[in-house]
Amino acid sequence: MPKSGTDREARRAASKAVKQAERAQKQARKLASSLPEPARSKLGRAATAERRRIVILKRDADRMPFAVRRAAKRSSSRLERVAVRYGSAGGRASSAGSSRRGSSAKAIERQRTQVEQPSKMAILSGVRTIFTTITTPTDQERARKTAKERLRRMERRN
């Protein structure tokens, strides 16, 4: 029996939803790696559980595309909720409404960016401090320089 255009569209939508769920799962794993330990393990477990579901969904995509699409979207949103809960938002939904704006993977990626920002800032501030200590002249060097400048001014006047 030939498959209709509607079937193809449903299968395409299902495979697209599964791919988005896979991306969300990948971003959740990345977010977990940048979190402190209690949150890391909880988010890691959630990502692993969703990964198992996604593998099963991938197999069933041809047989029941509508159910697969719905389940994949549900899986993405679960991952997003867990990411918001354990991410830098501290339980507040800093990416509230992100599902309406786009994919869950993007929302989880934003959470990861927020989590990594303080550590990046600390590193950058340390580098700046080291650079400043290296390039800032000591009092002795500054005194030498001003003495040279005074000497030059005196020589110019004479």
Tens-place pLDDT, residues 49-80 = 999 999 999 999 889 999 999 999 999 999 99
**What are the b/e assignments for 49-66, b being 16+ CB within 10 Å?**
ebbebbeebbeebeeebe
Rounded to whole angstroms, the Cα distance separating 142 from 105 reads 54
What percent of the chain clears pLDDT 90, i.e. is strictly above it?
Answer: 58
Handedness of CA 60, 65, 67, 71 (dihedral sign): positive
Whether 125 has a pLDDT exceeding 80, the answer reads yes
Binned at pLDDT 50, 70 and 90, residue 3 comes out as: low
Q: What pLDDT does residue 93 have? A: 47
Helices first, then strands: H and E counts in the chain: 6, 0
Rounded to whole angstroms, the Cα distance separating 78 from 74 reads 6
Binned at pLDDT 50, 70 and 90, residue 29 comes out as: very high
DSSP-derived secondary structure for 72-98? HHHHHHHHHHHHHHHSTTTTS-TTTTH
pLDDT, tens only, 129-151:
999 989 888 899 999 999 999 99
Q: Are 99 and 21 in contact (CB under 8 A)?
A: no
